[in-house]
Structures are given as structure tokens and as C-alpha cells.
Amino acid sequence: MGNVKPVPSWLKNLVQVAVCGALLAWIFQSIFWKEGQDAWERDQRTPAWKQLTMLQRLEVSWEHGPREVWRNMSRVRPGPFAVSLALMGATILLGIVRWRQVLRVHGLDLSFGRAAEISLVAHFFNSFLLGAAGGDLMKAYYAARETHHKKAEAVGTVFVDRIIGLFALLVFTMVAMAANLPLLDADPLFLKLAGVIAAMFAGCAAVLFLALRGGVSKGLPQAREWLRRLPKGDFLERLRDSLKPFGRDRLFLAKSFSVSLLLCGVCVLHVQSLVWGLGLDLSLRHLFAIVPMITCMVVLPLTPSGLGVRENLFVWMLAVPLIGVEHTAALSLSLLCTAGSLFWSLIGGVVYAGLRRKHHLDEIARADAATD
């Protein structure tokens, strides 16, 4: 049998963009349609809504829908919105703290300022690059540039940082769901999402266990030989070995896990501040289950930066009778959350532009020094 050709990256990106566009079009059109119908019937216009052609209904929907969504978003109070931006920044700050803890296990004492620069750049690429790992790839690239003798270890810290953060998120979500069982029974969607998250928890726990014990080579000795035969096999083997110290350092695991749980809590408060700003009647207890459930689903590499997935889940989950938030308000809440993330992504873009210029000048200076 011939070798199976890998799927081209451009095709994967195209599929992601298509899924993202379809999900966004679906949720926007559904809400705009409802807003258009409500406005038409409220004004008692003729003919009746049902007598309009499909094209006429679409025209009315897009006349009233975007205006209503913008009206909902623009009524957010400045104070709570500013708090939400600060809390979003706090999540990035906690991520920096956790990554520096990971780096210290290998004796890589990256300064807080440098780690902040790299993390902001990673956040920028996570928001604007297609795929799920754009930011992590940039983070690994810059981490490897910080050392000449521990490049594999530096790259490994990005993987460990991500897997510990994901596992903490899943633990946080499992506990929050257990504390909100009536909410899970409120709609079949919640039960389906809970099943997916439980499967993600089991899978992540297995990956984390294997990663922190150095892979499966103890049970499968041939796995190590197979690894060496891969392209850059020596680097991959060093990368595998670099993960073992994390599993032996229980104090590190406890501190990193604690920071990750705190980060999850701050994410919920970030959304809660926007709920207050919009004046929505939504309990903090329900948010402690809904926000991490949505975050778990956004982690899946379905669309760029989770666009479309996040908006649909916010609308569907907040519209259940037990909560009863209007679709337009729920969509506005989701868009404001995205706006907060994009605000920090733009700051990361500015940092990235500065880093590129700085490194380019550094390379020129080194080249000039070598010729003298």
C-alpha cells in the first residue's frame, strides 16, 4: 500500500473557515429573523409577516437585526466593561505566572517582562491565526530562541503549560456541572455537552498521565525506537525526556494546578462583569457552570478562535427556560466577551510588531560585529 498523503494545511484552514462562517451565519440570521418579525408585528405593518416573500423577510431581518444587536451591546455600562477588560488581562497574567512556573522546572528563568511579551504575542496569534495551535507554535518558537542548550525543554514547557491548563479547566467544569445538576436537566443540550466534556476529561487525564511519566516506552519498548526513526527523532526523544521532571515535582504540580483553577474562576468573573454591565438577570452559580462548559467546547479545533461555536452556545444555553435570557442579549454578551479578548490580542499585535523590529536590528548588529 502506498503512503497516505496528509491533508494539506490550506484545506484544513478552508474547512475551518467554512464551518466558522456557517455557524456565524446561522446564529446571526436566526436572531435577525426573530428581531425583524417582532418589529414588523409590533408596528402592525401590512401585509402580515407570513404573507411576505422570503426575500422581503430577509430584507426586514437585516434592517432590524443588526441594529438591535448593536443597541444591546452599546448599552453596556462603561464601568463593568472596563472591569471585564481588566479581568481578561488578569487571565493572561495568570497564564504568564503558570508558564514561568513550568519554565523553572528546567532551570529556565525567563524574566516576567520577556514571558509577558511572548504570551501576548501568542494570544495575538491564537485570535488571528487559523487553526487551534497558532499561538502555541509562536510561544514555542520564542521559548526555543531564549536558550541554546535546552531548546527541546523550552518547547516542552509550552506543551506542559497547555495540558495542565486544559486539565484544570476540565476538572473545574466537572465540579461546576456536579454543583448545577438541575441546570443539566434543564435541556438535552446540557446533557450532551456534559457527555462530551466527560470524554474530554478522561482523554486529557490519560494524556497528562502519559506525558508526565515520559510516554509509553516502559510498556512498549519498541516505541522509543520508532520515535528515533521519525524526522527530527533525536529532538523528539529529548522532548519526551524533558517531560519527566514535571511528573516528579509534586510541589510544581500543586502550584501550577492552583493557578490554573484561579484562572478558570477569573474567566467566569470576566463574563459576570459583562452580565452586570448589560443588566441581565443571570445568577453567578449558573455562570460557574455555563462559562467553563462553553470554554471547553471552544478549545476544540473546530473554527478559528472558536468563532461561531461560542456565539451559538451562549445563545442556546442562556435561552433555556430555567435561565430565560433573550437571544439578542445572549449574542450581545458573547460578542462583548470576544471584544475583550480582541482588545488584548491587538496589544499582542503591537508587541509582536515591536519584537520583530527589535530582533531584526539585533540580527543586523550581530552580523556587523561578526564582520569587524
CA 226 to the chain's CA centroid: 33
- Closest by CA to 341, choosing from 94, 164, 91, is 91
76: left (phi over 0), alpha (psi -120 to 50) or beta: beta
pLDDT at 361: 45
**pLDDT tens, residue by residue, 22-81:** 877 888 888 888 888 888 888 888 888 888 888 988 898 888 888 888 998 999 999 999
Q: In the structure grid, which three cell numbers stand for residue 232, read together?
A: 527530527
pLDDT at 212: 77
Q: Which residues contact 339 (CB under 8 A, 6 or more apart)?
A: none
What does the domain layout of the chain look like in residue ranges?
Answer: 10-71, 81-302
CA 137, 140, 146, 148 torsion-angle sign: negative
pLDDT at 250: 87
pLDDT at 268: 96
pLDDT at 343: 94
Q: What is the DSSP letter of 8?
A: P
**pLDDT tens, residue by residue, 230-270:** 555 455 566 666 777 887 888 989 999 999 999 999 999 99
pLDDT at 223: 52
- Closest by CA to 330, choosing from 30, 5, 59, 114, is 30
Residue 126 has pLDDT above 70, yes or no: yes
- Mean pLDDT, the chain, integer: 82
pTM above 0.85, yes or no: no
- Rounded Cα gap, residues 90 and 203, in angstroms: 28
pLDDT at 134: 57
The answer to whether the CB of 275 falls within 8 A of the CB of 282 is: yes
pLDDT at 228: 54
- Rounded Cα gap, residues 73 and 18, in angstroms: 26
Choice among 20-34, 118-132, 188-202, 351-365 with the minimum mean pLDDT? 351-365
Radius of gyration of the chain (CA): 24
Q: What is the average pLDDT across 355-360?
A: 62
Of residues 22 and 337, more confidence is placed in 337
Residue 109 has pLDDT above 70, yes or no: yes
- Angstrom CA distances, 143 to 67, 111, 127, 245, 251, stand at 45, 12, 20, 18, 23
Q: What is the average pLDDT across 153-179?
A: 90
Q: Return the biggest CA–CA distance within the chain.
A: 84
In our burial notation (b when 16+ CB lie closer than 10 A, e otherwise), range 267-283 reads bbbbbbbbbbbbebebe
